[in-house]
Amino acid sequence: MTVDRFVRDTGHNGAPTAAGTGSPASSASSLAASVARVDAAQGRVHLTTEPDATGWIRCSELLTRPHTFASWWTSAAEWLAGTYGEAPRRTAIAYVMSWYLRIPAYVGAAMLFHERRVPSLHPEDLAVRLPSQGRPNPQAIAVLGDDIACLPLDPLRTQPQATVADDERALAGVLRARYTAHAARFVRAYRSIGPLGTRTLWAAATDALDDCLWWAGRDCGDEGAGVADATLVLESAFAPLTSPSTVHATDEGWQRDRQSCCFTYLLPEREECAGCPRRRRAG
């Protein structure tokens, strides 16, 4: 089975333009409206541009004070211990690594999939809220910046904060570049405080982006279109990302080969995940 690239003009849910001018006619075409539509289209994580006053932390705060991750590691370890009876340190650290990288990855992937727009993914322009109990993966993500990359027919194209990409391939390149810039800051910060090496961290960054592009389609019932976006954004190995998209068709459906290990196999009675690189090396 193969995936053909295709052009998908979202129309931004029919956002109207002023007659004869091509300029925005209402707030329906705004970035906030985009984020609200994407939030309504999926149930993986709450997305907003207007976070309430409590419980949020900007990604930039975590990256400029990386020892703040230690409290997240503790929450992950407590959840692992409560769920599995043990909490290997490396597993907790790897889980937090993946959860963090999915913040910019999912925002970028979901906005590209649903809106053919890419918001700012700067750490200063994203904030996260974790649940107060249970599995401590991100519960909500706030998009705080005004910058937006879009296509030439997008109603926002004339706005001063807009970067207009020539076509979908160029827009995919904007997403890849913005995500990679954020991931680079994460890799430097996380490497400074934990046991995971630079190559492992970049492999995890690649996994997060490939996963989230795929999931953006699957989360709304159009898995094939998500696979197509993964192929579009990761058509090659764009260093320092470690591989092109590895999503592929199998008899059981779409699967992908991971580039990094989440160390789930260290938990009692658990094995390597189906797409784990340890399985491929062993084979």
Please give the pLDDT value at position 282: 60
CA angle, corner 212, sides to 272 and 43, nearest 5? Answer: 105
Please give the pLDDT value at position 13: 40
**Residue 128 buriedness (CB in 10 A; 0-12 / 13-18 / 19+):** buried
CA neighbours closer than 13 Å in the CB half-sphere of residue 49: 15
- What are the backbone dihedrals phi and psi of residue 118, each rounded to the nearest 5 degrees, phi first? -130, 115
Please give the pLDDT value at position 33: 95
Q: Which residues face 254 on adjacent strands?
A: 249
Q: Read off the DSSP letter of residue 163.
A: E
Please give the pLDDT value at position 15: 38
CA pair distance 68, 243, nearest whole angstrom: 30
pLDDT tens digit sequence for 227-247 = 999 999 999 999 999 999 999
The residue whose two tokens read 């053919």 is 116
Please give the pLDDT value at position 28: 72
The residue whose two tokens read 């650290």 is 93
CA pair distance 31, 44, nearest whole angstrom: 20
CA pair distance 244, 233, nearest whole angstrom: 9
CA pair distance 266, 102, nearest whole angstrom: 22
Please give the pLDDT value at position 113: 98
Tokens of 183: 């991931």
| Mean pLDDT in consecutive groups of 10 residues from the start of the chain, 283 residues | 40 37 58 96 96 91 96 97 95 97 98 98 98 95 97 95 97 98 98 96 98 97 97 97 95 90 85 72 60
pLDDT tens digit sequence for 159-211 = 999 999 999 999 999 999 999 999 999 999 999 999 999 999 999 999 999 99
- The helix/strand/coil state of 31 is helix
Mean per-residue pLDDT of the chain: 89
